[in-house]
Amino acid sequence: MTYSHKKISLPILSELKMHIEITENPFELEVQELFQMAARINKKRSFLFVSKLLGKHIPIKPKLGLWTGFALAARYEELKTGVVSASRDVLLKAYYDNIASFRDEPIIAKEIASPIIIGFAETATALGHSFYKAFSHAAFFHTTREVVDGMESIISFEEEHSHATSHRCYIDASMLDTQREVILVDDELTTGNTAINIIRDIQAKYPRTEYTVVSILDWRSKENEAKLKSLEQELGITIRCVSLIKGVFQLEGELNNVSDGQEETGISTNIVETEYISLAEFTKDNLLPFSSRTLLDERNVSPYLKNTGRFGLHSSEIDWVEAAASFLAQKRIGSQTLSIGTGEFMYIPMKIASLMGDGVYYQSSTRSPIYPHNEHYYGAKTAIHFLNPEDTSIDHYLYNLTEYAYDDIFVFFERKLDEAKLNPLLDKLKGTGARKINIVYAAGGK
C-alpha cells in the first residue's frame, strides 16, 4: 500500500484535531505505526507528533530505535546514488517480521559517503548516533545543552518550538574544518529554521558545498521548502532533505481549559528494592575528565564518557557495551524490563538495552511538558514530573510508564550524581508497580 497523497485525520484532545496529507512515503510504512498525537504545554506550539520509533516518550523495543537510524541512512543512500539501497529489503523485513533480527552493522561504504553527522539535542542524540553507525567511514557529534567547564562551543544556534533552545558544540575545530558533507539529523522537520540556523553558522566559519538534513518526519510547507532553496542559492551550496515520511498538516481547533496538572502513576505501598550500579569497571578506559556546571551553578566533577558523541567520534565501535549489557542482564529479576535513558544520554542506554535479552523496552526522560490523556490514540497516556537529578533547575518528564507491566526498571545516567536528588524520581517510579529499580552510572560511581 502506498500513502502518497493519502489524507488522514488524527484526534488530539476534544478541542484539537490534526489533518495530515502524506505526499511521500518511500518505504510505504503504516503512518499510524510511526507516531501518535499529543497536546503540548507550550505557547509556541500546542501539539506534538509523539514518535513510536525514537524511544523518547513511548517505550519501544530498543532495536527499533537503532533500526530507525539505519532506515534513514538507507533512504539517504538512495537519494545520494539514485539507486535502490541493497539494504532496503532486509531492513523492511526486520521491521515487519522480527525486529530482533536487525543488526546494526555499517551499510554505506566510504566510496558512497564519508560525512560529518550532527545529531540535535536532546531528542535526536540517539537517532543521530544510530544513523552514524550505518556508515563505514564517518564522524559524529551531537549538540548539547550542558555547560562544560573550560570549553567553548565552536558553533551555537537556537531551536524553535523548544523548551530549551541553546545548542552548544564541544568538538575540536578540525572536525568541521574540512570539505566533507555535513548531515544534520533531527526527529522532525517542521519549518526548517533550526537547520537553516546551523547551516548558516557552519558555512560562515567552515564553508563547504554539500549539506543534508535528515528527519523521520518532514512537514515543511512549500513556503518553508522555498526558504531552504533560497539558502542554497544565497550560499552557493547543495542541501538535500531525507525523511521516512513527507507531508503537510493542518491543525483544527484550539487548546482551551486544559489543566497544567500532570496525571501521575499510582503510589505504591509495596516494598521496592533499589540498587545502585556502577559500570566503571567497563568504562574506565573511556572517560573524559571534564567538569560541568548546572544552571544553579552547582559543579559536577564526575567524568564524562568518550563514547556519547558530545565531544566528537571518529569510530562507531563502543567496545565495552556488550560486557556491560551481559552484566546488567544478570541483574534482571523478571521477564519484563524497562530501561530508561536520561536527557541527552539516549544512545548508549538504548544500545545496552538491545543486548540485555528478550522482554526489554526502552524510553527516556524529556524536558517536553505534555498534557496526559488516557485514550488509546493519544501519545501521552500517563505522565510523571520530577526535577532533573543532574540539574534541579530543569523539569523532566516520563510518559506512558504503565504501558507495560514491568518487573524491574533500569535508569541510566552518564555520570555519578548526588543521590539525594534522585529521591523524587525514585518515589514516582515506585508507583509503577515494578519490584526493583536499578540506578546505573556509566561513568563514576563505586
The model's pLDDT over 313-351, given as tens digits with 9 standing for 90+, comes to: 998 789 999 999 999 999 999 999 999 999 999 999 999
Assign 96 to helix, strand or coil.
helix
| Least confident stretch, 188-192, 264-268, 315-319, 416-420 | 264-268
pLDDT digits (tens, 9 = 90+) for 373-393: 999 999 999 999 999 999 999
Query: What does the pLDDT read at residue 166?
Result: 80
The C-alpha atoms of residue 93 and residue 102 are separated, in whole angstroms, by: 9
Grid cell listed for 119? 545529531
pLDDT digits (tens, 9 = 90+) for 145-164: 999 999 999 987 666 555 44
The C-alpha atoms of residue 93 and residue 95 are separated, in whole angstroms, by: 5
Average pLDDT of span 409-432: 95
Confidence band of 278 (pLDDT split at 50, 70, 90)? very high
Crossing angle of helices 62-81/125-133, nearest 10°? 60
Average pLDDT of span 387-402: 94
| CA max distance for the chain | 64
Give strand ranges (E) for 200-308. 210-218, 238-252, 273-278, 287-288, 292-293, 299-300, 304-305
Residue 2 has pLDDT above 80, yes or no: no
Query: What does the pLDDT read at residue 1?
Result: 35
CA dihedral 77, 317, 186, 325 (to 10 degrees): 130
Confidence band of 405 (pLDDT split at 50, 70, 90)? confident
**Cβ(360)–Cβ(339) below 8 Å:** yes
Domains of the chain: 61-252 (3.40.50.2020), 273-443 (3.40.50)
Q: 10 Å Cβ neighbour count for 19? A: 13
Instruction: Kindly give the residue spans of alpha helices, DSSP state H, lying in 287-385.
Output: 321-329, 347-354
Grid cell listed for 308? 556519547
Q: Name the helix (H) or strand (E) containing 435.
A: none
In sequence order, which residues have a C-beta less than 8 Å from that of residue 14 and are 6 or more positions away?
Answer: none
**Average pLDDT in the chain:** 92
Backbone angles phi, psi at 119, to 5 degrees: -95, 140
